[in-house]
Chains A and B, each alone.
Chain A
Amino acid sequence: MIPRLAWRSIWRNRRRTLITVLSIGFGLACTVFFIAIGEGVYAQLIDQVVRMQAGHITMENPGYRDAPAVDLWIKAPESLRLQIEKLPQVERTKLIIMGQGIARSASGDVSATLMGIEPSVELDTSPLVRHIVAGRYLHDDDGPWVVIGSELAKRLKLAVGKKMVITTNDAAGNLVDELCRVRGIFETGSVEIDGYFIQAPIDFARRLFVLPEESATQLGVVLRIPEAQDFILREARLMVAGQDIAVLPWQEVIPEIASYIKLDKGSNLIFQAILIFLILFTIFNTIFMSVLEREREFAVLLALGTKPVQLRLQILMESACLGLIGCALGLLVGGLAAWAAQVWGIDLRSLLEEGFTISGFAISAKMHARVTTGLLLGTAGLVFGATLILSLIPMRRATRLSIVDQLR
């Protein structure tokens, strides 16, 4: 009978119950939706950045992060690569030679980052391929051909097929230069990438930096399932145990992105906390008002011999019912909206024609949400759990009232 009493009691004031349930639902739906959008943008950002760089996990010389230089290359990465690729969570591995140099043309020179890549791998994994605006992307047998950013092309007045020279220091520290031609021009929207970034076939980079066959400064690992990163990290570290190779997560390789996400999540957390506080305040207000209005009724129940614990149970059930209905509504609306935003995306290209950049990395203006069971259940669980905790105060009040005073 106590559940029946609780259920009927919450519908005694239908309007108030409906407003409360709708408030919980709306607040939770907004929270779920905005967290999902945020998670989606972060996932999109991470995916684009790691695919353009060395993947979710980077294996390199332990000294490379402190003083990046091509002489800190790793030996025989091919055998390591074969081992890593056997793990089912791994999508691709990529060999990279990353170095600095000066790009020169008849019109001038610009300091640039040269990334030696395996074109066939990048064609499958890198978002840069989709940003080619002139010419084409590289092929494995392209030889001394490169792709450059549109800003760099503009500064050096280069077009597809035109010659340029890259001057740099080789692995032994000698000044070297190589002639190459522009195969394609990309435009990502990021000034840093479009203005200072060059990609060339890895064989060309090895020749330029005078590195041996099969050498690389990095072995990157792109994951099929990003959530498996910690597991793969542990596995990879076991594989290189005893070797002079460091295994790093992308957060250590591209710390500016990790910091940005952390900071953004922190500021979002404040917004979400305010939203959840408002939801909880609504629930508390409703439960408390409902208890205050029924003090005489509770006194009658106590007079008839109801144990305080039974009264507490009734109030707890009323709170649980409000919380459950509100959370179910919020999950349904918020979950569906977030799922739609995950499948179809939210297209802001009309507002942000050229997309936007985060820490120099261009992000598409079409945002996709990312909904996970953990997000849905975690957020709803938080609201529901807090609802139950909040009912402790009205519960305490109801069971401590003076029967005589209330019945007077």
Chain B
Amino acid sequence: MATIVDLQEVTKDYGQGQALTHALRGVNLVIEAGEFTAMAGPSGSGKSTLLNIMGGLDRPTSGRVEVDGREISDLSNTELGLLRRDRLGFIFQSYNLIPVLTALENAEYVLMLQGVPIAERRARVREVLAEVGLEGLENRFPRQLSGGQQQRVAIARAIVSEPALVLADEPTANVDSKTGTALLDLMHRLNEEKGVTFFFSTHEEAVMKRARRLLQLEDGVILNDGIQTNKWN
């Protein structure tokens, strides 16, 4: 299997002097294509920091970060932007859809940035929206959708460009448990059927159980990293 993410001795510090905080302390991590990995840990354990560094949204203080075979620590902001656009998908805790764009336009946005012709991108987006169960809701604006539906649009936006890796920051935290389960089912299905690589952070037991691989992060250090076998895997 191809390596999508390779972190070597990654550290991240915030602040200076007495206010210095070590958010990550020498993290080593390899994510392979096709994985469905969850990262658990209490608040302040460094989950979001690790996701941000893997997604090229933040830079490590030290260590080596390789995404899709490319060392990213020294890339410029513009190069990082292009990497995110072409190789990564993001799902945020609070959906973060663009309120003035419809579900279809939100999902289409990254393809537009990539310069995919309009007819092709519309066809792809409709297909993906149907896959995430939003057929018939394409022209609704985010405010006209429920929380679960909005997160489905966010998932569609993250996967429509077929990225190497989808990073999800607590994707079920803002929805009820039933909707959360449905979203996990969806991501699981996309992983199994389409081979989309997912890496998500969570602090919910139910979500952790669904992951094939589970990392335990605490005080910026990965304490456990193991493969889980359960009824879903």
Q: What 0/1 readout, one digit per residue, does chain B (39-66) give for beta carbons within 8 Å of chain A?
A: 0000000001000100101100000000
The answer to whether A5 and B96 have CB atoms under 8 Å apart is no
Complex CA distance for A408 and B96, rounded to whole angstroms: 12
Q: Is A301's CB within 8 Å of the partner chain B?
A: yes
Complex CA distance for A5 and B97, rounded to whole angstroms: 13
User: Chain B binding site: helix, strand, loop or mixed by DSSP?
Assistant: helix
A307 and B81 in contact, given A1-B112, A301-B98 (Cβ under 8 angstroms): yes
Tell me which residues across on chain A come within 8 A of B52, comparing CB atoms.
404
The answer to whether A404 and B109 have CB atoms under 8 Å apart is no
Q: Which residue of A lies closest to B114 (CB)?
A: A305
Total A-B Cβ pairs within 8 A: 64
The answer to whether A308 and B96 have CB atoms under 8 Å apart is no
The answer to whether A304 and B109 have CB atoms under 8 Å apart is yes
Number of A interface residues at 8 Å Cβ cutoff, please give it.
Answer: 22
Contact residues, A246-281 vs B (CB, 8 A) = none
Q: Among A296, A303, A304, A308, point to the contact of B78 (Cβ < 8 A).
A: A308
Q: What 0/1 readout, one digit per residue, does chain B (64-80) give for beta carbons within 8 Å of chain A?
A: 00000000000001100
Q: Is B92's CB within 8 Å of the partner chain A?
A: yes
**Max chain A Cβ within 10 angstroms of own Cβ: one of B58, B81, B108:** B81
Q: Among A5, A303, A306, A307, point to the contact of B55 (Cβ < 8 A).
A: A303
Interface residues of B (CB under 8 A from A): 48, 52, 55, 57-58, 77-78, 81-86, 90, 92, 96, 98-101, 105, 108-110, 112-113, 157
5 closest Cβ pairs, A-B complex? A305-B85, A8-B100, A300-B96, A305-B84, A1-B112
Cross-chain pairs A/B with CB under 8 angstroms, 25 sampled:
A1-B101, A1-B109, A1-B112, A4-B105, A5-B98, A5-B101, A297-B99, A301-B98, A301-B109, A303-B55, A304-B84, A304-B85, A304-B110, A304-B113, A305-B81, A305-B83, A305-B85, A305-B110, A306-B85, A308-B81, A310-B113, A403-B58, A404-B57, A407-B57, A407-B92
Interface residues of A (CB under 8 A from B): 1, 4-5, 8-9, 12, 296-297, 300-308, 310, 403-404, 407-408
